[in-house]
Amino acid sequence: MNLIGRSTILLSGVLAVLAAAATVYFWRRGGRWRWPMRVAGLLAIEIFVVFTIGLIVNRNEHFYPNWEAIFGNNGAETVAPPPVGRLDRALAAGNVVLWSPPEAAGWRLAAAPILIVPLDYARHTDRSYPVIVVLTSAERVASIRAEAAAIADAVTVVTVPTPGTSAAALNTLPTRLAQDARAAGSGWAIVADAAHSTLARQWNTLVPGRFRLVTNGLAAAADKLPPPLNAPVRLHS
């Protein structure tokens, strides 16, 4: 389970609630074990509440991006800082740009892709980010764009494929994106609606190892992606 994932925080919160409910239920029960059970219940509530708060803070600040890092076993290796993306200056000004690289004509999309980066993208110049590529219809672009703007730890590319868009043609997108933004080399996700699910699966099959998951939910993708990579140390997920 991802240490900085929403599911981990939710599980910890649920356990805190269950501990509180159990403590209330057994407060006047248990006979001679009543007092030990009360103490154990109160301790469990405190532990889970503190743990949940810690998970929330860690998700925001990235003190420990994975479980191994807590115990110092993070598989770290020295790497060069990520190169400056060609569009970094434009992204720093607005966090959202219409992306029109020379290769875009070959992708045969209905419109120029929308490139969306986290709000603190300009502040963390030593980070490279996992990427979510969205394959969607034109009428859903506005809602997808608003949802992607709230994602803190990933670069999102929103595309509107046409019948002429193929997985082979989209294969030039990752290479081009690595030149234009600070995109990680792996750990990506594809988010596709029902109309584009076949294209998503074809693309995933074409480049094994590139995409961590293929899903139809943006929130699910964001929750399961690895954390950003910080130079000069890279943490293996």
pLDDT one-digit tens code per residue, 165-216: 999 999 999 999 999 999 988 889 999 999 999 999 999 999 888 898 899 9
Q: Coil, strand, or helix at residue 231?
A: coil
Q: Coil, strand, or helix at residue 78?
A: strand
**Whole-number pLDDT of residue 230:** 64
| Averaged confidence pLDDT in the chain | 85
Q: How far apart are CA 117 and CA 152, in angstroms?
A: 8
Q: Between vectors from CA 221 to CA 78 and to CA 170, what angle results, nearest 5°? A: 80
Mean pLDDT within 37-58? 90
Mean pLDDT within 13-37? 88
**Whole-number pLDDT of residue 236:** 46
Q: How far apart are CA 43 and CA 35, in angstroms?
A: 12
Q: How far apart are CA 73 and CA 104, in angstroms?
A: 42
pLDDT for 83 beyond 80: no
Q: Which residues of 139-165 are buried (b: 16+ CB within 10 A; e: fewer)?
A: eebeebbebbeebebbbbbbbbbeeeb
